[in-house]
Amino acid sequence: MIAVIFGVLWWKGQVQRLSAYWKQTVEELKKCTWPTWDELKGSTVVVMVAILLLGLFTFVVDKVMFALFNLI
């Protein structure tokens, strides 16, 4: 069954397209610059602080809205 599917994909040129896609992906990844360990730690701290502030803001607004709707 797998051989038949592979044969059909080969006949339609899908295997060659997948191979070309893979090669292009590897070439593009070689051009990427990856962050240093210190940059990664700094970015992680920024994201954690942003999540904390957004969560706190959402919590406060929820409590205020809940109190307002209880008054009505």
Per-residue pLDDT of the chain (72 residues; tens, 9 = 90+): 777 777 777 666 777 888 889 999 999 999 999 899 999 999 999 999 999 999 999 999 999 999 999 988
Say yes or no: 24 and 8 in one domain. Answer: yes
Helix boundaries (H) for the chain:
2-12, 14-31, 37-71
Say yes or no: 18 and 38 in one domain. Answer: no
Q: What is the pLDDT of residue 15?
A: 73
Q: What is the pLDDT of residue 3?
A: 75
Say yes or no: 22 and 48 in one domain. Answer: no
Q: What is the pLDDT of residue 30?
A: 92
Q: What is the pLDDT of residue 1?
A: 75
CB contact set of 15 (below 8 Å; sequence gap of 6+): 6, 9
Say yes or no: 22 and 38 in one domain. Answer: no
Say yes or no: 40 and 66 in one domain. Answer: yes
Say yes or no: 6 and 27 in one domain. Answer: yes
As to burial, measured by CB atoms within 10 angstroms (0-12 exposed, 13-18 middle, 19+ buried), residue 49 is exposed
If one counts the domains in the chain, the total is 2
2-12 vs 14-31: helix crossing angle, rounded to 10: 80
User: Token digits for 55?
Assistant: 């969560």
To the question of pTM greater than 0.75 for the whole model, the response is: no
